[in-house]
Structure 1
Amino acid sequence: MSEAAKPTVLFVCVHNAGRSQMAAAWLAHLAGDRVDVRSAGSAPADAVNPVAVTAMAEVGIDISAKTPKVLSVEAVRTSDVVITMGCGDTCPVFPGKRYLDWKLEDPAGQNLDAVRPIRDEIGQRVQVLLDELLPRA
């Protein structure tokens, strides 16, 4: 990653319907156009988890129009940081990339009260990541 280039962050989970969507939305919300944000899943669902949509709406972030995307080798190859959330060995690994594995509870099948703490933990982790990627002057 060059000094002038924006960092690119890829969030990956199995279905790209909950955790990775929330993480990507948090980073886009907090970083604005200073970071290129992507998300994908190793086995994408048909739609984003509606409970995740509701949980994010509570903090003023709209992910209702997002759609799960399939993970591609190219997406990993062209990202600076790859953050996995339970996709296991299905994520391709390339030398020179920064990989983080965030152990987070899966919001699939959970109610809103169970998804809120997952949303909040993701938001906190994304803020720490952003502070590492773009140190405040």
Structure 2
Amino acid sequence: MSTTPSVLFVCVHNAGRSQMAAGWLRHLAGDRVEARSAGSAPAEKINPVAVQAMAEVGIDITAEQPKKLEYATAQTSDVIVTMGCGDTCPVFPGKRYEDWQLTDPAGQGIDVVRAVRDDIRVRVEKLLAEL
């Protein structure tokens, strides 16, 4: 049985916010925390502006693909962070939940996405300090 905590980031399309959050967590925590991400209605590919914004800070998320939120993934995660998926996110008793109100980067320019990226970093750093 693993003692490595897992954090699941969930947004609607799993193409921007949740991918950036998982990228930050992997970057900042290394193998101390497992980063997962999923979406309630996954897009076909990651938002290229999110990829660009993360590349600007040295984090490569190009290999990631949007994934559908699976019950088992949520059930086996220690922390579930939602980002605008509303009632489509499953709730499991005993799990730690956070709901991050963040601008959806879909269709936004690089300046907006940079601000979202930087906001996510601060939130991930705070979450890591609490784990």
State the TM-score, normalizing by the size of structure 1. Answer: 0.94
Identity %: 70
Q: CA RMSD in A?
A: 1.0
Cα separation, 1, equivalents of 2:18 and 2:88 = 15
Amino acid at match of 1:44: P
**What does residue range 113-132 of structure 1 map to in structure 2 within 5 Å?**
113-132=111-130
Counterpart in 2 of 1:20?
18
Counterpart in 1 of 2:51?
53
Write out per-residue CA displacement over residues 107-131 of structure 1, whole angstroms, 9 at most, x where no aligned residue.
0000101110000000000000001
Write out per-residue CA displacement over residues 58-84 of structure 1, whole angstroms, 9 at most, x where no aligned residue.
000000111000000101100000000
Counterpart in 2 of 1:9?
7
User: How many correspondences in the alignment?
Assistant: 131
Gaps of 5+ in 2: none
Cα separation, 2, equivalents of 1:77 and 1:65 = 25
Gaps of 5+ in 1: none
Pick from 79, 87, 92: which aligns with 1:94? Answer: 92
